[in-house]
Chain A
Amino acid sequence: MVSPAIALAFLPLLLTMIIRYRYYFVLLYRAVLIRWVRDCLTGLSREERAFQYILTHATPGDAQSILDTFDHWCSKVEFISHIGPKKGKILDRLLQEHCPITVLELGTHCGYSTVRIARSLPIGARIYSVEMDERNAQVAEKIIRLAGFDEDMVELIVRPSDEVIPRLREDFGVERLDLVFMDHWKRCYLPDLQLLEGSGLLGEGSIILADNVIFPGAPNFLRHARRSGLYEVRVHRATLEYIRGIRDGMAELTFLGIK
């Protein structure tokens, strides 16, 4: 039988673990436990709850207000993995620098990043936003309309991304993508990137921005991007949205063109 003294000797280890990985515990609590409890209590999905909150708290037609309300809800009430305000600033800066005309967004979720992109796009630009989940897409559509963007600006496609990308040219008449924003399943980053490469929609100077490449992380995606030689890779280091202590990053890939 193990004596209590030996068990007590493991106490420092336990404390160390708890202190060192406290942010992960917080994340676990906020993203999983609270969500589960609320789901059981309200019977609504998380996204619908977020929409309700926004409907009651934000000013319709004001993109900034909607984004702020989102941030507030995500940091104070519940947790949804959006791009967040800090990484959003990087996105804004990129948009201002490059002024893309055609944007593809993979993973709309609640439409936070769609609104964020749409508000800083030039007139005549177009976003194709891809979302797989039906319910999320409904919420996203509502939020996008609430923010005041119409179908000409934002085209919401409710299909899995790997089906959409090869058909972008035929179905939507896209010739070239200036910016691709990836924030869907991290495992799909690499296959989708390869699909994009194959489709020929990327031109020289096209930018692919991938969120959450460090946490939860997309190592294969990064490895491919670095080794293929097709891209100029920059990783913007930041922290995970709404939680300070977890490091995360956004990968900015500039397509150099196929030689």
Chain B
Amino acid sequence: MPRHKLIASESDVSIEVDVGKDNEFSLYYVEVEENSQGGQEKQTTRDGKRRRERNGEVSRRRASEKRTTEVDTKRAEKKHEKRHKTARKEGEKHEKRQRRKNADEEEAEEESNKEKKNIKNERTKTLRRDDEKEKDVKKKRKKHVKNEEDNANSGKTKQKDCHDMPLKEKKKKRKKPETTSESESKSESDSAPESKDNQAVGVLGSLTPEELEKLKEAVDERKKLIATMRGKPWPMKKKLVVLRESQEFVEKYEGALGKGKGRKLYAYKVMIMKKWMKFQRDFENFKTACIPWEMKIKEIESHFGSSVASYFIFLRWMYGINMILFGLTFGLVMVPEALMGKPYGSIPRKTVPREEEASAMNFAILWDFGGYAKYSVLFYGYYNSQRAIGWLKFRLPLSYFLVGVGTVAYSYMVVIRTMARNANEEGGGDDTSFNFSWKTFTSWDYLIGNPETADNKFASITTSFKEAIVEEQESRKDDNIHLTRFLRVLANFLVLCCLAGSGYLIYFVVRRSQKFALLGLENYGWWERNEVNMVMSLLGMFCPMLFDVISTLENYHPRVALQWQLGRIFALFLGNLYTFIIALMDAIQLKRAEEEIVKKNMTIWQANLYNGTVPDNSTAPPITVHPADIPRGPCWETMVGQEFVRLIISDTMTTYITLLIGDFLRAVLVRFLNNCWCWDLEYGFPSYSEFDVSGNVLGLIFNQGMIWMGAFYAPCLPALNLLRLHVSMYLQCWAVMCCNVPQERVFKASGSNNFYMAMLLVILFLSTLPAIYTIVSIPPSFDCGPFSGKTRMFDVIQETLESDFPAWFGKMFSYASNPGLVLPFLLLLVLAIYYLQSTSKTYKRVNMELKKKLQTQNEENKKKNKLAALKAANELEQARKAGEQRSSSASDLGVNEESSSIDEAGHHRQAGQNGRFIHPSQSQHTQNSEPPVSSTHTTTRPPASRGHTSSGHLPGHPQQPQKNSHSNRR
């Protein structure tokens, strides 16, 4: 019995000490208690433990009884033993009670406790002493106890280990899951009485190789248990407890398993390994914690499903991109100009003009980005055209141009790269072929952690099943398609009407505002001045709602519906944006006309100035006009930048105000008015709002588009956008968690990410178009901005090439930009793209074919299996018939039975066969013990009795005939 040996090992480590006084024993108890209470603090789980302990105790008692019967053969002693045990149990009970009490008491009272316990234990000991008189084995046991107690004083931990190990071992051998989950502290306290039971086998000595082997086995078993924990059909609580304990066990004994000298080293190595793994895990956790807003997004994901979370992930991604854009513009444009450029007030473009000086610091003006804000690094006009500034000889105009181009180029790169990566993930499966299987196995969103959302998801899955079934039926019937088509066409028509209406409204407003601008904005109120922005924001807010309502006509799947919705809002926003840009272009033309006039006037003004000062010409550098008084052009670039900044600001404000009013105020009203309202506000009419994924995503995308468009003329835009994104991240996270409810139809948004990206790409392209147009075709203003005095903005490159690079470089560049070289290069590029595209197409086709092949193979396999199963079933049927025949014949004819009994006598295996017929569970054992059963049949059984059913399978064992049939086939 391995059990004995392990129990023996318990005493191995204990040191031989003389028999001491009895109360030392009780002292040990107290010590252990201190451990269990002070050290481990498992008070909360104490009750459960106690229960478990009781279980364990019972089983342990049973086992110990068994053991005593095995080891101690004396009958008479048994009674004593039992009595003694009950006494001990009583003592334990006392102790438990005591422990319960102790849980609250201070350690200062430990002394008194000890004494109390001494008294209690005294009782048990007197009983024990009676036993001792009869048996000297008992004495031995006592000695054991004392040894342990001594150990407890000297090397407590070590002893603890020794007690645990055998206990655990035993339990495992018994294969009782409850006992394995018994806690450490309890087993410690129990170990002392336990040892008394085991004293019969108590042998002293060091760890023998066999025991080591056992220990190793135990550790391995634990490890295996840890590895397979997941697959166990246990409740989570139990799993956790078992896992923790096994881990502790493994940790404790793994170190002891090394051989001889290397043991310590091994233990050390294991420890280091553990620490390293732990560190790695912690580091991973730390890395996750470092991802900004990760926890927030996960929480939202768990409440609202992945479609809402995808918006926040998108927002975070956008934030990252803007961070880089901001870094570029801030580091390479704004900071150099602010630090190294000419200071404020040195030249006209860096000074607030005289007529504006009075109101330049007003908040209203600053809020509108006029006054001092206009004449600062925030806008294009402030920058000087000086070729190199500061001691670094920083080429600011070049840097300005390259940053402008670089931000756009970087954005293109990032968007396209992300798109390509997402496209890889999609994998291009066809959704149509296994609709129901997909639904069954993949429709659950495992990221949901909120019961309410889970309910919604459950409901949506069931409804989607219903819908899918109905759809399937309808696709077979296919009669209602005309109505659906009609409705879809109608919906699109309505949406188009709506778009046209909103476009016309914006056009009208823009025209009106131009009229106002011509007449002078000062004569009009706030409403008129902000009309364009207001109308655009309002339309952008309300039209999507209308689209949403209209889209219920179409009866699409929510994912498809979301895409349609996105497309429509996209069209709306695009219309609005382009109307705005066209208006802006008109404004630019106006400004340029104004500039021409100013240019003419400038010469006159200069002439006047000189003429006026001609009389006192004698003083040499006379003309010191303050830069604020010098007339200047209107600087259309700054105007464009200002417009964009205003648009962004008003857009942001609208978003936040909508959030606060539409979501928060509504939620508050619904929540608190519900108690005194005549219908249920929460379920009924206003209800809480749902998070509008499509609208928010598009808002974000268009916002980004405006940044791309305007960043060239207002370098402050990325900074503003960064601020906005940062705030909206927190605000929207809060708003979502606080005032929104999960969508009624929660759906996965796995596919929509790329859709967002595609839209972002389109917007990027559409927003760079006007920017490029203005840069390329409109000459810069003559007296403001880094490119003043040049005919075109990109002349700065040529200038740099000529002056800063060696001559050969310029020559090479001119050769390279020669159309004779560029055209072939472009041609090559096109060819390469074409080639790559065609190869990817081929790959796709090959993939599809492979898929098809796999499918057909699967089907073939299925067919084969079906055939095999059929065959097996046939055989089974025949076997049953034969068995019935046989049994009937056996009961009828005694002769037959005799013959079979003879067979049994002749062959041992036959017994197994017959037994199998009688008792299936037995038969399995025999089968397991003797693998080549089927081969032996034919030899052992008289072939005449069975005939065709050579494989003697059973009614209860369908596997065997299959196996046989397989083997037959092969």
Where the two chains meet, the residues of A that have a C-beta atom closer than 8 Å to any C-beta of B are 1-3, 5-6, 8-13, 15-16, 19-21, 24, 186, 214-219
Contacts and interface: CB of A to CB of B under 8 A. Distances in A.
B684 A5 contact: no
Interface stretch (B143-151, B539-547, B636-644): B539-547
Contacts of B549: 15-16, 19-20
Contacts of B509: 5
B679 A6 contact: no
A217 B684 contact: yes
A9 B505 contact: yes
Nearest to A214: B683
Which 3 A-B pairs rank lowest in CB-CB distance, beginning with the nearest? A217-B680, A216-B679, A9-B538
Given A5-B535, A218-B680, 9 more contacts: A5-B512, A12-B498, A12-B543, A13-B542, A13-B546, A21-B685, A215-B679, A215-B683, A219-B680
Interface residues of B, number: 31
A9 B542 contact: yes
Given A16-B545, A219-B674, A3 B539 contact: no
Contacts of A6: 527, 531, 534-535, 538
The dominant DSSP class at the A interface is: helix
B678 interface: yes
A234 B386 CA distance: 78
Contacts of A15: 546, 549
B684 A2 contact: no
29 contacts: A2-B527, A3-B528, A3-B531, A5-B531, A6-B531, A6-B535, A8-B505, A9-B505, A9-B534, A9-B538, A9-B539, A11-B542, A12-B498, A12-B539, A12-B542, A12-B546, A13-B545, A15-B546, A16-B545, A16-B548, A19-B546, A19-B549, A19-B550, A20-B549, A186-B679, A216-B684, A217-B684, A219-B680, A219-B683
A214 B684 contact: yes
A96 B550 CA distance: 43
Contacts of A11: 501, 542
B680 A215 contact: yes
A214 B505 contact: no
Interface in B646-669: none
A165 to B, nearest CB: 23
A13 B498 CA distance: 12
A233 to B, nearest CB: 13
A3 B509 CA distance: 10
Contacts of B508: 5
Contacts of A20: 549
A11 B684 CA distance: 24
B806 interface: no
Contacts of B531: 3, 5-6
A2 B508 CA distance: 15
A224 B674 CA distance: 15
B685 A9 contact: no
Contacts of B679: 186, 215-217
B527 A10 contact: no
Contacts of B683: 214-215, 217, 219
Nearest to B508: A5
Contacts of A2: 527
Contacts of B512: 3, 5
Given A9-B539, A16-B545, A3 B527 contact: yes
A179 B249 CA distance: 59
A5 B498 contact: no
B682 interface: yes
Most B C-beta atoms less than 10 A away, residue of A2, A13, A218: A13
B538 A24 contact: no
Contacts of B674: 219
Nearest to B543: A12
Nearest to B459: A237
Contacts of A10: 538, 542
Contact of A216 (B501, B534, B543, B678): B678
Nearest to A24: B685
A10 B531 CA distance: 13
B621 interface: no
Nearest to A221: B680
Most B C-beta atoms less than 10 A away, residue of A2, A5, A16: A5
Most A C-beta atoms less than 10 A away, residue of B498, B508, B545: B545
A178 B829 CA distance: 83
A5 B424 CA distance: 47
Interface in B240-271: none
B39 interface: no
A199 B541 CA distance: 55
A16 B662 CA distance: 15
Contacts of A19: 546, 549-550
A214 B685 CA distance: 11
B680 A216 contact: yes
A160 B245 CA distance: 64
B535 A9 contact: yes
B535 A215 contact: no
Interface string B500-514: 011001001100100
B615 interface: no
B451 interface: no
